[in-house]
Structures are given as C-alpha cells and as structure tokens.
Structure 1
C-alpha cells in the first residue's frame, strides 16, 4: 500500500506542477492554419509566456469557469500588449484559442485601404519584399506578394497579400473600444480576424500569453508511404 500511495503522490505532485506552469509560466500551442504565414506555419508548436500581460481567468488551466477578475481589463496586474506582439487569446465568439498579431490598442483609429493598415490617420509603412508561395488546405500552391510592415514602436515583420484590391483589403475606419484589441493575421487574404464580425475586437481579458518562441515544427515533410518530418526551426524568437 505504501508503494501505491507513494506513486499516487508522485503523480499528483507532477500534475500539480504542470498545472501551475501552464497557468502562470507558459503554455504551448499548435498552429493549425495558414493565417499567420510566413511568421508561423502549419505544424509549428509555439510557446506563449503568460507573465508579460498579467493574468486573467483565461490564463489559468480550467479558468473559463471562474468569475471575471476585478478591474477594468479583468487582468491582474492590468498589463497591456504592445503593437506588433503575436498573442494567443481566447476567441470572443467561438471560445477557441487563436493566435494573431496585435495591431490596434484601445482608443486607436484603425482602417485598411488597399491592404495597407492606417493607424490614427497615418499609413503604416509597407514595403514590397519579394514573393512567397505556400500550400493551401486543398493542396494547391498559392503565390502571393510579401511586404515588410512596420507598426508604430515595433520591429518590422513580413505579411502576405495576394490582391490589394480584394474586398478583404479594405476596411472603414473604426475606433478600438476601451478594453479591446484589434488583431490581424499576417496572411491577410487568408485570416479570420478583427476585420470581421465573426471575431470583432478582442477583449484584453481574453489574452492568454505572448508567443515568444517556435519550439519545433513539422511543416517540412517528405516521403511516400509515411511522412518523415523534421523541425523547421528551433527556439526562434517571434517578433
């Protein structure tokens, strides 16, 4: 009986450590779609650190069933992300975990004209940087133009645009409400994000963590009978 008790205590202790780490330190997430290409590719496993944004009930394992934390943002402490951060958050409609780039902060005026983001009346710098190809869910190869976008106060990052005159490339100016964020995918023609009513502005409370590293990837695969996959990159900082 003592051996069984010791084994049970070891298992319970290990589970408790995992829950604490996943709630307060970091958690890992799998990238299932092309919405953040080229920053993140399908098959990437990213680590999202929790402490930079403080903690809300969505930060904690099983926290969906907890009451909202006190304060205007529902976070302790009430930390705010920076423009350009790649963040994991709880989708305000579907309740799924999503990952997008923070583009607009509370009070910002955001518009999109021919694929270019405008913030507070000024165009965000956008410079063509070549071409990119990727495989869409149907297996077809998609060719798009790559651009370097530089949000205020952030390092440049690469986005993809297939057609700067498509309906997805324009959005009337809107003001980001208090306690909300405007989120965009880097693959602008293939991302469900804050441009659409299916997501809308994301509550700051719904932030889970900042995506800081790609732990490994199975995006590059080859083989016939079985896929043989190798990591694409290890512990690369996500700007």
Structure 2
C-alpha cells in the first residue's frame, strides 16, 4: 500500500466513525420521540389487576418480569393530547398506567413511586363509596362480577370511606393500621369480620393517607351523629378514583388506601394486550375497552 493510500485510510476512519455515531444518535432520538410521544409497551407485574390481566412476579429475574406478565400497548400521543386539552378526560372503566402517589403505602415504605396499573372507577365530580365490597358510583351499584367470575378470587367486603360525624363534620375515620408509626403503617379498612375503631382525623397516620380526601367526603344534613357510617366521597376536579380488579384481601393498593389520584400522574391508557399470544390454551391478544359495567345509565 502506498503512503498516499495509508493516509487516505487514516482520514476515512474518523469520518466513518462520525457517520456511525451520528446514525446511532439519530436512532436514539427517534426511539425517544416514539416512546415519549408515539407509543410504548408496559409489562404487568404483580396480581393487582387479576383476573383481567396476568402479572409477572415482582421477585422474578429480569427476563421473567419482561416476558411472564401480560404486555400492554400504550398510545402515548393520547396522554399528551389530554394534557394539552385537545382530547377529553379518561372514561370510567378504562385501564391506565400511573405513577403511584407519594402517600401510597408502598411508596411510603420504599421511598420511590413506582408505575402501577389500575382501572378508573370514578371521574371528577362522581360520588363514590364502597359498602361490603360493592362499589357505588353516583348511587348506582357497579356490576363488577367479572372481578370474581373465575372463582379464583374472593371479594374483600370492605367499607370505604366509613366515618364518624359530629356537628356536621367528619371527625374520625373507621380504620386501623398495622404499625403505630405514621410512616411505617398500612391502612386496615373495616370489613365483614374485621372490626377496627374510629381514629380522629388529626391522627398523623390518617392525615398521611387520607388528609387530602377528608374534604371530599359528602356529609348529608341529616347524617347521624357519632355513629360509624359509609358516606359518598366526591372526586375533586382533575383527579380520578382508581381501583385494581383484584378485590381480594391485600389484592390491590389503590384509592381505598391513598385517595384519589392526580390526572397528571397518569402516564397512559392501556388499549390492548399484545403479549403473550396465548395463555392456558386460549388466545390472549385482545383489546382493552372499558367494561360495560361502568356505563352508568
């Protein structure tokens, strides 16, 4: 090889590296834009959305977490259109991915806010209450038989919010905690067979988990005084009441345990299950339209 040829090769190598680096950067930018503004997929971890969605074990290895659970399709452009006001709000029954609030029990214990998957049950302005596990929205009992239709889950007959009223104001929530320390507690709600005593609303633990919710509880003028009762809570503007489909005891941490969630914490709506293609010998790929039970008449 001539001296001139060697020099030319040396000059060509940096140029080639620059081209490859530029292509790599462009690919990363395109991928970022697609995932941020176009679409993405999210894997289901945990059992909080069973039986609707199957999740991978949170303690499994990376491969297991990536492929064992259902993988959901999330059109991110919808999220940005909603945040800019060009698209309406979310609908009852839709399944969404959201960043859990600071006061979620798992966030309090771990110090980090994970992404979780829940179903929207209450819209801004809706009146929501739960009696013996039965969800009522605007006075209508929601027929959520699909949550226990497989027989694998047993409905937790929880009451929420169960309160005590004095002088026309909520003075106590009927609930317990598994630890006396405010920042190491998980709420224990009253249910059939689980009896807990009222706690004053100024208890630090009540304030941590439900302080923002107390002002949303609707107290009727004729509410009995000093008697535990379940009342409606009104979902504030710009917020949603969310639940997991797994309503068994300990099945899901949701608005029963941390109150309503800010619309801005919702990162996307799940529109379809795209993986795995089959489960238990049947097809698994499917759309995720809002359940008919949430179409109030």
Higher strand residue share: 1
Bigger mean CA deviation after superposition, 81-90 or 162-171 = 162-171
Any idea what SS the aligned residue of 1:15 has? helix
Which residue number in structure 2 is paired with residue 39 of structure 1?
Answer: 52
Tell whether the 8 Å contact from 1:28 to 1:45 is kept in structure 2 after alignment.
yes
Structure 2 gap segments, 5+ residues each: 1-13, 56-68, 108-112, 160-188, 193-229, 290-297
Any idea what SS the aligned residue of 1:54 has? helix
Tell whether the 8 Å contact from 2:51 to 2:147 is kept in structure 1 after alignment.
no
Any idea what SS the aligned residue of 1:196 has? helix
Cα distance in structure 1, aligned partners of 2:191 and 2:124: 22
Cα distance in structure 2, aligned partners of 1:85 and 1:213: 11
Which residue number in structure 1 is paired with residue 9 of structure 2?
Answer: none
Instruction: Give the 5 Å matches for 1:61-140.
Output: 75-77=83-85, 79-93=88-102, 94=107, 95-127=113-145, 131-132=149-150
Any idea what SS the aligned residue of 2:53 has? coil
> Pairwise CA RMSD of aligned residues?
2.9
| Moved >4 Å (runs of 4+) | 126-131, 165-172, 218-221
Give TM-score, length-normalised by structure 1.
0.68
**Are the structure 2 counterparts of residues 168 and 47 from structure 1 closer, same or farther at C-alpha, using a change threshold of 3 Å?**
farther
Tell whether the 8 Å contact from 2:133 to 2:155 is kept in structure 1 after alignment.
no
- The answer to whether the aligner puts 1:196 opposite 2:214 as a matched pair is no
Instruction: Give the paired residue count.
Output: 185
Tell whether the 8 Å contact from 1:53 to 1:80 is kept in structure 2 after alignment.
no
Tell whether the 8 Å contact from 1:86 to 1:99 is kept in structure 2 after alignment.
yes
**Are the structure 2 counterparts of residues 38 and 82 from structure 1 closer, same or farther at C-alpha, using a change threshold of 3 Å?**
same
**Are the structure 2 counterparts of residues 169 and 28 from structure 1 closer, same or farther at C-alpha, using a change threshold of 3 Å?**
farther
Which residue number in structure 2 is paired with residue 233 of structure 1?
Answer: 284
**Are the structure 2 counterparts of residues 162 and 126 from structure 1 closer, same or farther at C-alpha, using a change threshold of 3 Å?**
closer
**Are the structure 2 counterparts of residues 188 and 2 from structure 1 closer, same or farther at C-alpha, using a change threshold of 3 Å?**
same
Rg larger in structure = 2
Structure 1 gap segments, 5+ residues each: 57-74, 134-142, 145-160, 222-229
- How far apart are residue 98 of structure 1 and its match? 1.1
- How far apart are residue 102 of structure 1 and its match? 0.6
